Chain A
Amino acid sequence: MSYIVDRRLNAKKKSTVNRQRFLKRYRIHIKKAVADAITHRSITDIEHGEEIHIPAGDIQEPLFHHGQGGHSERILPGNKDFISGDQIPRPPAGDAGGSGSGASDSGEGEDAFIFEITQEEFLNFMFEDLALPNMVKRQLAGIDEFKLRKAGFSNQGSPGQMDVVRSLKSAHARRIALTLGKRKKLKVLEQQLQLLEAAEPILRNQTEIDRLLKKINHLKSLIKRVPWLDDFDLKYHLRAKEPMPQAKAVMFCIMDVSGSMDQATKEVAKRFFILLYLFIQRNYERTEIVFIRHHTSAKEVDEQEFFYSRETGGTIVSSALKLMQKIIEQRYPLGDWNIYGAQASDGDNWNNDSAVCKEILCNSLLPNLQYFSYIEITPRAHQSLWHVYEQVEESYPDTFAMAQVVDASEIYTVFRELFHKQVI
Chain B
Amino acid sequence: MKQKPLSTSSEWTFELIELYDHEISKIATEFGLDTYPNQIEVISSEQMMDAYASTGMPLGYHHWSYGKQFINTERSYSRGQMGLAYEIVINSNPCIAYLMEENTMTMQALVIAHACYGHNSFFKGNYLFKTWTDADSIIDYLLFAKNYIAECEERHGIEEVEKLIDSCHAIMNYGVDRYKRPYPISAKEESNRQKEREEILQKLVNDLWRTIPQGKTAARKNNKRFPREPEENLLYFIEKHAPLLRPWQREVVRIVRKISQYFYPQRQTQVMNEGWACFWHYTLLNEMYNRGLVTEGFILEFLQTHTSVIYQPPFDSKYYSGINPYTLGFNMMIDIRRICEHPTEEDKQWFPDLAGSNWQASLDNAMRNYKDESFILQYLSPKVIRDLKLFCIVDDDKNPYIAVDAIHDDRGYQHIRETLAGHYNLGNQEPNIQVYSVDIEGDRSLTLHHSQHARKPLGDSTDKVLKHIRRLWGFDVHLHSIENGTISKSYHCPPVKEKELELEKTKD
- Complex contact A78–B422 (CB within 8 A): no
Which residue of B is nearest A5, CB measured? B41
- Complex contact B407–A73 (CB within 8 A): no
Task: Tell me if A6 counts as interface (CB < 8 A to partner B).
Answer: yes
State the CA gap A68–B395 with chains docked (Å): 10
- Complex contact B401–A71 (CB within 8 A): no
Known contacts A3-B40, A102-B321: A90-B402 contact under CB 8 Å: yes
Does more than half of chain B's interface fall in helix, strand or loop, or is it mixed? mixed
Return the CB mask of A13-26 against B: 1 if under 8 Å, else 0. Answer: 11101111111110
- Complex contact B39–A65 (CB within 8 A): no
B122 CB, min distance to chain A CBs, angstroms: 17
- Complex contact A76–B170 (CB within 8 A): no
- Complex contact B37–A3 (CB within 8 A): yes
Contacts of A66 in B (CB 8 A): 429-431, 453, 456-459
A222 CB, min distance to chain B CBs, angstroms: 59
Return the CB mask of B390-419 against A: 1 if under 8 Å, else 0. Answer: 111111111011111111110110001001
- Complex contact A18–B465 (CB within 8 A): no
- A2 touches which of B37, B47, B456 (Cβ 8 Å): B37
- Complex contact A64–B459 (CB within 8 A): yes
B383 CB, min distance to chain A CBs, angstroms: 14
Q: Which of A20, A66, A105, A113 has the most CB of B within 10 A?
A: A66
- B401 touches which of A5, A23, A61, A89 (Cβ 8 Å): A89
Return the CB mask of A107-118 against B: 1 if under 8 Å, else 0. Answer: 010000111100
Task: Tell me if B25 counts as interface (CB < 8 A to partner A).
Answer: yes
- Complex contact B420–A3 (CB within 8 A): no
B58 CB, min distance to chain A CBs, angstroms: 9
Contacts of A68 in B (CB 8 A): 397, 457
Contacts of B87 in A (CB 8 A): none
A11 CB, min distance to chain B CBs, angstroms: 7
Task: Tell me if B94 counts as interface (CB < 8 A to partner A).
Answer: yes
A103 CB, min distance to chain B CBs, angstroms: 6
State the CA gap A63–B234 with chains docked (Å): 13
- B173 touches which of A18, A59, A63, A72 (Cβ 8 Å): A63
- A82 touches which of B43, B65, B323, B391 (Cβ 8 Å): B391
- A75 touches which of B314, B419, B462, B465 (Cβ 8 Å): B419
State the CA gap A74–B54 with chains docked (Å): 31
Known contacts A78-B313, A85-B404: A17-B454 contact under CB 8 Å: no
Contacts of A304 in B (CB 8 A): none
Return the CB mask of A76-116 against B: 1 if under 8 Å, else 0. Answer: 11111011111111100000011111111100100001111
State the CA gap A17–B70 with chains docked (Å): 11
Q: Which of B67, B94, B390, B400 has the most CB of A within 10 A?
A: B67
- Complex contact B320–A102 (CB within 8 A): yes
- Complex contact B465–A64 (CB within 8 A): yes
- Complex contact B67–A75 (CB within 8 A): no
A419 CB, min distance to chain B CBs, angstroms: 28
- Complex contact A73–B317 (CB within 8 A): no
Contacts of A114 in B (CB 8 A): 75
Contacts of B408 in A (CB 8 A): 79
- Complex contact B37–A79 (CB within 8 A): no
State the CA gap A90–B452 with chains docked (Å): 23
Known contacts A21-B63, A66-B457, A102-B320: A3-B315 contact under CB 8 Å: no
Q: Which of A12, A14, A105, A113 has the most CB of B within 10 A?
A: A14
- A69 touches which of B54, B94, B318, B397 (Cβ 8 Å): B397
- Complex contact A15–B459 (CB within 8 A): no
Task: Tell me if A149 counts as interface (CB < 8 A to partner B).
Answer: no
- Complex contact A18–B162 (CB within 8 A): no
Interfacial residues of chain A within 30-80, with CB under 8 A of chain B in the complex: 59-80
Known contacts A14-B54, A15-B66: A67-B457 contact under CB 8 Å: yes
Task: Tell me if A225 counts as interface (CB < 8 A to partner B).
Answer: no
A28 CB, min distance to chain B CBs, angstroms: 14
- Complex contact B38–A2 (CB within 8 A): yes
A57 CB, min distance to chain B CBs, angstroms: 9
- A70 touches which of B38, B40, B323, B452 (Cβ 8 Å): B452
- Complex contact A77–B41 (CB within 8 A): no
Known contacts A6-B42, A76-B315, A90-B395: A116-B75 contact under CB 8 Å: yes
Known contacts A71-B396, A115-B72: A25-B49 contact under CB 8 Å: no
Contacts of A60 in B (CB 8 A): 461
State the CA gap A73–B416 with chains docked (Å): 10
Task: Tell me if A211 counts as interface (CB < 8 A to partner B).
Answer: no
Contacts of B411 in A (CB 8 A): 84
Contacts of B393 in A (CB 8 A): 73-74, 76, 88, 100
State the CA gap A350–B342 with chains docked (Å): 102
State the CA gap A70–B459 with chains docked (Å): 12
- Complex contact A104–B39 (CB within 8 A): no
- A7 touches which of B41, B422, B462 (Cβ 8 Å): B41
Known contacts A64-B431, A67-B457, A67-B458: A22-B67 contact under CB 8 Å: yes
- Complex contact B316–A19 (CB within 8 A): no
Q: Which of A65, A101, A105 has the most CB of B within 10 A?
A: A65
- Complex contact B404–A21 (CB within 8 A): no
Known contacts A2-B21, A8-B101, A18-B63: A98-B318 contact under CB 8 Å: yes
Known contacts A21-B63, A63-B461: A15-B392 contact under CB 8 Å: no
B322 CB, min distance to chain A CBs, angstroms: 6
Task: Tell me if B169 counts as interface (CB < 8 A to partner A).
Answer: yes
Which residue of A is nearest B15, CB measured? A4
- A79 touches which of B174, B320, B407 (Cβ 8 Å): B407
- Complex contact B68–A98 (CB within 8 A): no
Task: Tell me if B389 counts as interface (CB < 8 A to partner A).
Answer: yes
- Complex contact B166–A71 (CB within 8 A): no
Contacts of A90 in B (CB 8 A): 395, 400-402
Task: Tell me if A1 counts as interface (CB < 8 A to partner B).
Answer: yes
Known contacts A21-B67, A99-B315: A12-B397 contact under CB 8 Å: no
- A65 touches which of B312, B398, B403, B459 (Cβ 8 Å): B459
B60 CB, min distance to chain A CBs, angstroms: 8
- B25 touches which of A2, A25, A105 (Cβ 8 Å): A2
- Complex contact A100–B395 (CB within 8 A): yes
Contacts of A98 in B (CB 8 A): 315-318, 320
State the CA gap A14–B47 with chains docked (Å): 8
- B404 touches which of A20, A25, A88 (Cβ 8 Å): A88
State the CA gap A330–B37 with chains docked (Å): 74
Contacts of B18 in A (CB 8 A): 2, 4
- Complex contact A61–B170 (CB within 8 A): yes
Known contacts A2-B25, A84-B411: A78-B317 contact under CB 8 Å: yes
State the CA gap A87–B68 with chains docked (Å): 41
State the CA gap A113–B74 with chains docked (Å): 13
Contacts of A70 in B (CB 8 A): 396-397, 452-457
Return the CB mask of B117-134 against A: 1 if under 8 Å, else 0. Answer: 000000000000000000
Task: Tell me if B178 counts as interface (CB < 8 A to partner A).
Answer: no
State the CA gap A173–B116 with chains docked (Å): 56
Task: Tell me if B204 counts as interface (CB < 8 A to partner A).
Answer: no
- Complex contact A5–B455 (CB within 8 A): no
Q: List 8 A-B contacts (CB under 8 A).
A: A62-B461, A66-B430, A73-B393, A73-B422, A76-B323, A80-B314, A80-B316, A82-B407
Additional pairs, 20, CB under 8 Å, beyond known A1-B37, A102-B321: A5-B40, A15-B66, A17-B62, A18-B63, A18-B65, A64-B173, A65-B431, A69-B397, A69-B456, A70-B453, A70-B456, A72-B395, A73-B419, A74-B419, A75-B323, A76-B315, A80-B389, A84-B407, A89-B400, A115-B72
